[in-house]
Structure 1
Amino acid sequence: MRRLLLAAGLVLSACGAVPEAEVAMHRPHWLVIDPLPDMKMFTGSAASRPLRPNAELARDFLELTFQMESGRAIERMSRFEAPITVSMTGLVPPSAPGDLTRLLARLRDEARIDIRETAAPAMVAIEFIERRRMQALVPTAACFVVPRVTSFEDYRRVRRKAQVDWASLETREQVAIFIPADTSPQEVRDCLHEELAQAIGPLNDLYRLSDSVFNDDNFHTVLTGFDMLMLRVTYAPEMRSGMTRDEAAAALPKVLARLNPKGGRLSQPAADDPTPRAWIAAIEEALGPTGSDRKRRAAALRALALAADAGWRDARMAFSLFGVARLGMADEMEISVAAFVEAARIYRSLPGGAIHAAHIDMQMAALALSSGEAADAILLCDRAIPIVRRAENAALLATLLMIRSEALRLEGRAAEARASRLDSLAWARYGFGDEAEVRTRMSEIAALTPGRLALASTDGGDSE
């Protein structure tokens, strides 16, 4: 489900009043920017420590480490027991070396892991291949990681064998990560963060975590402070490969008291809080790429009902509301807006939930723009943009800046609109990659603006 939240395409198709093809065919002067500005990239910074009780952190670590996403139990913990080497091979995209260097520096500084890049062969082999080759074997994967193989051809030969069963590991010695080479720089970076974290650390994803990439809702795109702490715990000297769940649970109080002293004493474990498979199945059906609109809406409502019955007030309830809002925009706008507002309220109360609320602000800003409420659109974008910059989501940042540009133009602020648009395009080159995709996204947002064609004749000739 990694690409459920492709940062900006959630509301634009539902709101666009002008067909995309018409905009693209005529290429109005406000869309003619040749060449596009140079790509912007994040330089990266350390994430803040999680502000949660150690009892919760211990529970999360155990569930992340001793269970697969399918719900299958992992009997023994596994990790690398020697300094970790990483290599990149295949069709390496130009942006990947810099992003990997920054990620490895964070892992050394924040997670205290002895990890470095080297020439192949390495313990962690990152291979870039054509998307069509990868998806011929794993059709739904954006990228993935496999143990005990060194290359894609190696994986092709043994993919149906017990050799690639994570649950059979006691010590990790060799893993391979496969990433499509023909995708956006941001997608490459996101895959590096998520797959490398799982190559060396926890294997599970938990929908209740609002402050982690170990969550299939995919709002966070780079490793968070929570994730770095989980990895640091994994490689703490008190921990070791081959530990059972009970042995790890006994060691965690001392480890967390040392690594996260503000989390308090771990006097007793936090209550179990499992996510039923029925809710996961409903969410995947609602927000997945297949199925009719009617079936997907029914699945979203089913997920929301299950969340309400469970009494959740966490990220799972907010994501259920998000799904209902997302799927009702075409013909149930009032219900969608109410669901977005409630989801944002819950997210803002949760650790790490600001980026989730920023996604919703983007949705609401697009709606405000399509209704001609330029001032509201600008306020929503201005609230979300700093959060999105800190979260390093270039695709979402570019979309917000595009919406802001259109709203500024509606208010007659042509110079500010132009500056915001150029900034958006520089980030879009990282977030969306392909120039055609960048221009398509810009056309879609321009199509939201009421009276866009009429406005062009009175905007002071602000063409690039």
Structure 2
Amino acid sequence: MRLLFLLPLLALMACAPTPASHNRTTQQNSTYAGPIPPMKRFGPAHVSPPTRSNSEIAQDFLDLSFRLENGQPLPFMTRFEVPISVRINGTAPATLSSDLDALLVRLRNEAGIDIRRVPAAKTANISINTVPVRQFKHMRPTAACFVVPGVSSWGDFRRLRRSSVTNWKTLRKRTRMAIFIPDNVSPQEMRDCLHEELAQALGPLNDLFRLPDSIFNDDNYHSILTGFDMLVLRAYYAPELHKGTTRQQAAAALPRILARLNPAGEFATGHAPVSATPKSWENAIRQTINPAKSHSARRAAAMRAVTIARNHGWADVRTGFSLHKLGRLTLAQDAGLARCAFREALTIFRGRPEMRLQAAQITMQLAAISLSDGDAQIAINQANSSLPALLQAQDAVTLSMVLMIKAEALDLQNHTTEAREVRLDSLGWARYAFGSKKAALDRLAGISALTPK
């Protein structure tokens, strides 16, 4: 087992030596004194339809819909059987309101769900609540946001949280749901919570790490509902299904449902069946993101995840994700090892069209390394190649940092005017991605610190 643990490390270390340029002195502080542009916002989403076969999608649907996230099986489906109403309880930022309206339009148009917003004073099937962060973290210290059945408000949840009313396992029908989001997070974080938790309130309750093109995945690559997600929700509300449908009944109905909703999937090339994800890999991945663990423990967990993925022979999003985590957790200690991990992950992600967003996020990491090496043109090329996927996925976090990297690289080439324009663009997206002006400027300073003097 010890030898197996070392094999991925040896393979990555053989990839390339640490470049000498990583030992250069870099700027430690950068003060931006220019104008701070207003927050930038995305327009209507234009997501790509799923490219996988309907037989694969049917299996994904069943595994998403008939298990909870903790692995417990569900005997039957539950869903809303009437037109669905949504409200925002209390006060909320303007961005939350407009992002909700945009999401509801998509759910009606792309998923075919009859869902409408109602005023806060009216009773609604789904209530969205922003909660003071201290109260939120006291109740759910590790959650970004969450959805609970059977309640509408924070007070309801606190009073009934240990009762059967809020237990997904004992749920028989969906009539009331509450989504809870901390009140101090950035506009993008609030939007991401809306997409993920509203999708769960409406449809499947499970997440699957094997999914490359879905928000129903705890790897958090996707932050808005994808074409796959909308197809799953449309199928979830197909007339052939209803609350009380068993897994066997759903499996019998799905081929004709998907043939009707996604005819292209009947002719898509199927991939080899994806093996089950072992708990050992999931546990290792969860340790890599556990803030209570030391950095060295998280780095070791990332290595275990890579080892397990390789031992299973995976060449899918799970292996790429393992390598991504390893790259990020080793970058400060061994830039050569991190570079190799990122490059291997990028090769995996470029292998299938549904992983182009993952490829763009890895390319951002490599562009940052190129910038720190002083390879300005390579950094610019890498930044430019990632922009289309990031814009389509409406990922303002990565988009803003890619533009910051590009601006620094342009400065290295003495293209001062263009660098200034790109930097302003990056700050507009950073306002949406990170919230405050200070948070946006802190990110800008962090990217600037990568640039060789």
State the TM-score, normalized to the length of structure 1: 0.89
Query: Match of 1:456?
Result: none
Shift of 1:141: 0.9
Query: Match of 1:97?
Result: 97
Give the whole-Å Cα distance in 2 for the aligned partners of 1:333 and 1:395: 23
Moved more, 120-129 or 79-88: 120-129
Give the whole-Å Cα distance in 1 for the aligned partners of 2:439 and 2:411: 23
Query: Match of 2:8?
Result: none
Give the whole-Å Cα distance in 1 for the aligned partners of 2:396 and 2:76: 38
Secondary structure, aligned partner of 2:181: strand
Q: Residues 193 and 254 of structure 1: is their aligned pair in 2 closer, same or farther, counting only changes over 3 Å? A: same
Give the whole-Å Cα distance in 2 for the aligned partners of 1:269 and 1:175: 37
| Residues 165 and 171, structure 2, Cα contact 8 Å, conserved in 1 | no
Shift of 1:333: 1.9
| Counterpart code for 1:139 | P
Give the whole-Å Cα distance in 2 for the aligned partners of 1:316 and 1:389: 24
Residue deviations 1:260-289, cap 9 Å, x none? 1111189x9985632111110001112322
Secondary structure, aligned partner of 1:242: coil
Query: Match of 1:154?
Result: 156
| Residues 257 and 265, structure 1, Cα contact 8 Å, conserved in 2 | no
**Structure 1: unaligned runs, 5 residues or longer:** 1-13, 452-464
Query: Match of 2:187?
Result: 185
Give the whole-Å Cα distance in 2 for the aligned partners of 1:126 and 1:420: 36
Give the whole-Å Cα distance in 2 for the aligned partners of 1:336 and 1:140: 27
Give the whole-Å Cα distance in 2 for the aligned partners of 1:205 and 1:422: 37
Give the whole-Å Cα distance in 1 for the aligned partners of 2:23 and 2:137: 31
Moved more, 376-385 or 350-359: 350-359
Give the whole-Å Cα distance in 1 for the aligned partners of 2:90 and 2:278: 40
Give the whole-Å Cα distance in 2 for the aligned partners of 1:169 and 1:388: 37
Shift of 1:376: 0.7
Residue deviations 1:229-269, cap 9 Å, x none? 00000000011001111111111111011111111189x99
| Counterpart code for 2:33 | V
Query: Match of 2:13?
Result: none
| Residues 51 and 263, structure 1, Cα contact 8 Å, conserved in 2 | yes
Residue deviations 1:167-205, cap 9 Å, x none? 222321110001122211111110111100000011111
Residue deviations 1:203-233, cap 9 Å, x none? 1111111100000010111000000000000
Secondary structure, aligned partner of 1:448: coil
Give the whole-Å Cα distance in 2 for the aligned partners of 1:434 and 1:106: 28
Shift of 1:335: 1.8
Query: Match of 2:259?
Result: 257
Query: Match of 2:337?
Result: 335
Tell me how large the CA RMSD over aligned residues is: 1.9
| Counterpart code for 1:428 | A
**Pick from 111, 123, 133: which aligns with 1:121?**
123
Give the whole-Å Cα distance in 2 for the aligned partners of 1:357 and 1:71: 29
Tell me whether 1:43 sits opposite 2:43 in the alignment: yes
| Residues 91 and 129, structure 1, Cα contact 8 Å, conserved in 2 | no
Secondary structure, aligned partner of 2:389: helix
| Residues 96 and 190, structure 2, Cα contact 8 Å, conserved in 1 | yes
Give the whole-Å Cα distance in 2 for the aligned partners of 1:242 and 1:272: 28
Secondary structure, aligned partner of 2:354: coil
Residue deviations 1:304-359, cap 9 Å, x none? 11111211111111111112211111222222111111111111223421111111
Shift of 1:290: 2.5
Secondary structure, aligned partner of 1:177: strand
| Residues 300 and 320, structure 1, Cα contact 8 Å, conserved in 2 | yes
Alignment of 1:303-318 (within 5 A): 303-318=305-320
| Counterpart code for 1:387 | A
Query: Match of 1:353?
Result: 355
Q: Residues 15 and 62 of structure 1: is their aligned pair in 2 closer, same or farther, counting only changes over 3 Å? A: farther
Secondary structure, aligned partner of 2:179: strand
Give the whole-Å Cα distance in 2 for the aligned partners of 1:377 and 1:15: 18
Shift of 1:69: 1.1
| Counterpart code for 2:349 | Y
| Counterpart code for 2:391 | R
Give the whole-Å Cα distance in 1 for the aligned partners of 2:441 and 2:335: 28
Shift of 1:44: 1.9
| Counterpart code for 2:34 | I
Query: Match of 1:7?
Result: none
| Residues 46 and 392, structure 2, Cα contact 8 Å, conserved in 1 | no
| Residues 54 and 263, structure 1, Cα contact 8 Å, conserved in 2 | yes
| Counterpart code for 1:243 | T
Residue deviations 1:133-167, cap 9 Å, x none? 11110001111000000101100011122211112
Alignment of 1:264-343 (within 5 A): 264=266, 271=273, 273-343=275-345
Secondary structure, aligned partner of 2:94: coil
Give the whole-Å Cα distance in 2 for the aligned partners of 1:397 and 1:17: 27
Q: Residues 157 and 388 of structure 1: is their aligned pair in 2 closer, same or farther, counting only changes over 3 Å? A: same
Secondary structure, aligned partner of 1:353: helix
Query: Match of 1:8?
Result: none
| Residues 209 and 219, structure 2, Cα contact 8 Å, conserved in 1 | yes
Give the whole-Å Cα distance in 1 for the aligned partners of 2:164 and 2:369: 50
| Residues 58 and 252, structure 1, Cα contact 8 Å, conserved in 2 | yes
Residue deviations 1:29-86, cap 9 Å, x none? xx1124x111110012232210111110000000000011111111110110000000
Q: Residues 43 and 312 of structure 1: is their aligned pair in 2 closer, same or farther, counting only changes over 3 Å? A: same
Query: Match of 1:10?
Result: none
| Residues 27 and 452, structure 2, Cα contact 8 Å, conserved in 1 | no
Query: Match of 2:220?
Result: 218
| Residues 58 and 269, structure 1, Cα contact 8 Å, conserved in 2 | no
| Residues 362 and 381, structure 1, Cα contact 8 Å, conserved in 2 | yes
Query: Match of 2:381?
Result: 379
Shift of 1:97: 1.2
| Counterpart code for 2:221 | F
Q: Kindly, what percent of the aligned residue pairs are identical?
A: 47
Count of aligned positions:
429
| Residues 107 and 115, structure 1, Cα contact 8 Å, conserved in 2 | yes
Secondary structure, aligned partner of 1:86: strand
Give the whole-Å Cα distance in 2 for the aligned partners of 1:337 and 1:409: 24
Give the whole-Å Cα distance in 2 for the aligned partners of 1:118 and 1:410: 52
Shift of 1:298: 1.6
TM superposition outliers: structure 1 runs of 4+ over 2 Å:
14-20, 268-273
Moved more, 374-383 or 341-350: 341-350
Give the whole-Å Cα distance in 2 for the aligned partners of 1:156 and 1:349: 46
Query: Match of 1:71?
Result: 71
Give the whole-Å Cα distance in 2 for the aligned partners of 1:326 and 1:123: 41
